[in-house]
Structure 1
Amino acid sequence: MAILSEDELIQIRRHLHEIPELALHEQETHDYLLEIIKGFKQDYLTIEVPKELPTAILVLIKGRNPQRTIGYRTDIDALRVEEKTNLPYSSKHPGVMHACGHDIHMTVALGLLNYFSEKQPQDNLLFFFQPAEESESGGKQAYEKGVLQGKFKPDEFYGLHDNPELPAGAIGCRMGTLFAGTTEVNIDLWGKGGHAAFPQNANDTVVAAASLIMQIQTIISRSIDPIQSGVITLGKIEAGTIRNVIAGHARIEGTIRGLTQKMILHIDHRLKDVCEGIARSYNMKVKLDLNQGGYWPVENNPKLTKNFISYMKNNPKVNFIETAPKMTGEDFGFLLAKFPGTMFWLGVGDPGAQLHSATLKPDEKSVQRGIDAIKGFLINRMEN
């Protein structure tokens, strides 16, 4: 197979868009990707499907004079969203959609892989088609199961995320944190139920939960540096069954966001303190569960990111935009805590939509422009 044309890449993207699948169930996507990859020139390629993570694909391209192994990761899963784009290539899987643009991510990765399968790179290149980014912490699973070891261990790692707010094909990046880390928060309070007319004989978890929620709001406003960033959102509360019965149990669910792992751990610690205080104050059991999984902050490596930004800024063919950090989460952050690397944005020019939106329509011109920019960077990186 020769180097794929832009039209061929768009057709691949549209087929991927039609077959979205949820985390760890990306079998049809996996099989289609593997079929495409096996159609590339195989002279320098080693393809492996890890038994520990069977919908993942690893492709190692042997360099002609390798000094390092440069990793490139793309996520392959989709979201539980009912598509409302009315596109002729809309999702064929009811209730599931590539509403976060992973079909664009995969197509760009395939374009890069295709190019370097034809034009042998100087360094080794590792392409990691990763399942379960949206949930189940696929990056963390891959690392902990030893998928990224031995010849498949990258010396440095790169990955992109599409951005509908940026013009199609633009590259966005920044020093420091690109995406926040996230932690799921679940709090259960157990008191004693009773009749509404006899509160002295009960222990009201609704009152305790209300106090807890108000105290939690002070963690951000009074326990962290105002020039740093952290968020606690409590999005769900459940308690009681009827208006005239005091609730003996309440449950609060929410999320923490922070731009550094140190910040998230600090918020975690303060949240534990507040919950312990409420338990003592209201004489009830309060159970706090914190689940971060692999969704660590995406903290870009200073040296590699400086080099990446310098190349993109100085390339007249690239529309480079320095971006602010976002409070959205991405499990590539866990991998960047284990391997030095950089994550960046690829603009897809759909400013009226948001990521995870049922109406997201990326501009397909972004695919070839993204491939050209990243290809140029990788070639430059291998020469320096």
Structure 2
Amino acid sequence: MYKENLIQIRRDLHRIPEIGFQEYKTQAYLLSIIKQFPAERIDIQTWKTGIFVLVKGTNPRKTIGYRADIDGLPINEETEYEFQSEHPGFMHACGHDLHMTIALGILSHFVENPITDNVLFLFQPAEEGPGGAEPMLNSEIAKTWRPDIITALHISPELPVGTISTKPGLLFANTSELFIDLKGKGGHAAFPHTTNDMVVAACSLVNQLQTIVARNVDPLDSAVITVGKITGGTVQNIIAENARLEGTIRTLSIQSMERVKERIEALVKGVEIGYSCKATIDYGAMYHQVFNEETLTTEFMEFTAGNTDYNVQLAKEAMTGEDFGYMVDQIPGFMFWLGVDSSFGLHHAKLMPAEEAIFVAVDVMTKYISYKANQQI
């Protein structure tokens, strides 16, 4: 597939961002490209709004998996692109338009240049929520087309184009959403003594939550609790009967995630007693840590450093969440950062990744997958 074709595909995909399990236009567009390849070389299966594509090896002994996430985010785009999102309030602000384009470039290469082993492409929905990796991997299709190893990448706006960064072991954190609803007793602002004010209760709870990391997590471990949104009340002269806190939890160990949740639940019970209210907790989507298989990751880094002109860097652990963690929990594999040199970061309305990075990733992964196909199981 020519470079100009990949650029056009990326821009087409950028125009149609859709959130988790609503990627209908995205799926249709991807299928329109994939079905142009010779039918005898590939098998295609759809799963919800995702797609499995098996590129058949000439004498397969194993299956090498490659995953690309396909959903967008509920962010109103503010880039300078001429090809901005055509869906108001939604944007590919995490680079999944590049992720899909790269996967199509790799897929095209192996259709045109067959290798010994099968290569399975998973175009996965709902990475940003509610989480598509785990159910996709547990589908009957994935059980039939089970890869022996699996790989993926994520763009990194902070790194220059031509940079590949990863590490053996823990790369991305355990993550969990956090939603807390408080219900008290509302009333007239002039008679606070007859009410149970949930704005006050919510403010108190936010401050208490911030003590968990400081006083309940091992100082040699890492954790983050962020409350990003608070809603409560109706108008200025009515004491709020309801309040809602929305946030996220991130930890570098499973044990710390369990400990943090225990402390959240204890503090919420205290708020119920102290403010005479009722509270409910919902942890929403929870993502398993991305733990790169050490031998494969080291091999990939050494191969890329020795067989390409790209800059291979050792990454640090990040508090980023990625549901690819469920895949590498079941299948040996790894994820890496791809430098895209953007002034604005992930989940920002002005994210503008450099399109040249697409060709870097296609080059790296076609070379590495070809190398793996020459190895014994």
> TM-score, with normalisation over the residues of structure 2?
0.90
- Secondary structure (helix, strand or coil) at the match of 2:72 reads coil
- Secondary structure (helix, strand or coil) at the match of 2:53 reads strand
> Where do 1:226-375 residues align within 5 Å?
226-241=219-234, 246-293=239-286, 295-350=287-342, 352-375=343-366
Q: Is the 8 Å Cα contact of residues 43 and 117 (structure 1) preserved in structure 2?
A: no
Q: CA 1:24/1:209 → structure 2, altered by over 3 Å: closer, same or farther? A: closer
AA in 1 matched with 2:133: G
Deviation, structure 1 residue 61: 1.7
* Aligned mates of 1:203, 1:260 — CA distance in 2: 37
1:12 aligns with 2:9: yes
1:57 aligns with 2:51: yes
- Secondary structure (helix, strand or coil) at the match of 2:171 reads strand
* Aligned mates of 2:133, 2:312 — CA distance in 1: 27
* Aligned mates of 1:363, 1:200 — CA distance in 2: 58
- Secondary structure (helix, strand or coil) at the match of 1:216 reads helix
Aligned counterpart, 2:159: 166
AA in 1 matched with 2:312: F
- Secondary structure (helix, strand or coil) at the match of 1:43 reads helix
- Secondary structure (helix, strand or coil) at the match of 1:28 reads helix
* Larger displacement relative to structure 2 (202-211 or 364-373): 202-211
AA in 1 matched with 2:336: F
Aligned counterpart, 2:120: 126
- Secondary structure (helix, strand or coil) at the match of 1:354 reads coil
Q: CA 1:268/1:36 → structure 2, altered by over 3 Å: closer, same or farther? A: same
Match for 1:93 among 84, 87, 93?
87
AA in 1 matched with 2:8: Q
AA in 2 matched with 1:65: N
* Aligned mates of 2:15, 2:255 — CA distance in 1: 40
Q: CA 1:44/1:261 → structure 2, altered by over 3 Å: closer, same or farther? A: farther
Aligned counterpart, 1:38: 35
1:185 aligns with 2:182: no
Match for 1:142 among 117, 123, 136?
136
Q: CA 1:25/1:235 → structure 2, altered by over 3 Å: closer, same or farther? A: closer
> Where do 1:190-201 residues align within 5 Å?
190-194=183-187, 201=194
**In the TM superposition, what whole-angstrom CA distance separates every residue of 1:174-223 from its partner, at most 9, and x where no partner exists?**
22232223212122223334556665544444443333222211110111
Unmatched tracts of structure 2, length 5 or more: none
* Aligned mates of 1:269, 1:108 — CA distance in 2: 41
Q: Is the 8 Å Cα contact of residues 177 and 260 (structure 1) preserved in structure 2?
A: no
* Aligned mates of 2:46, 2:169 — CA distance in 1: 33
Q: CA 1:153/1:195 → structure 2, altered by over 3 Å: closer, same or farther? A: same
Unmatched tracts of structure 1, length 5 or more: none
**In the TM superposition, what whole-angstrom CA distance separates every residue of 1:63-88 from its partner, at most 9, and x where no partner exists?**
23333211101111222333333323
AA in 2 matched with 1:59: V
> Where do 1:201-240 residues align within 5 Å?
201-240=194-233
Cα RMSD of the aligned pairs, angstroms, is 2.3
**In the TM superposition, what whole-angstrom CA distance separates every residue of 1:277-336 from its partner, at most 9, and x where no partner exists?**
33334443222221234x222222223222222222333422212222222222212222
Deviation, structure 1 residue 242: 5.4
AA in 2 matched with 1:333: G
Q: CA 1:94/1:374 → structure 2, altered by over 3 Å: closer, same or farther? A: same
Q: Is the 8 Å Cα contact of residues 168 and 295 (structure 2) preserved in structure 1?
A: no
- Secondary structure (helix, strand or coil) at the match of 1:325 reads coil
Identity %: 45
* Aligned mates of 1:246, 1:8 — CA distance in 2: 58
Deviation, structure 1 residue 45: 1.4
* Aligned mates of 2:190, 2:27 — CA distance in 1: 61
Q: Is the 8 Å Cα contact of residues 186 and 241 (structure 2) preserved in structure 1?
A: yes
Q: Is the 8 Å Cα contact of residues 221 and 253 (structure 2) preserved in structure 1?
A: no
* Aligned mates of 2:85, 2:166 — CA distance in 1: 30
**In the TM superposition, what whole-angstrom CA distance separates every residue of 1:114-143 from its partner, at most 9, and x where no partner exists?**
111122222221001112222231213313
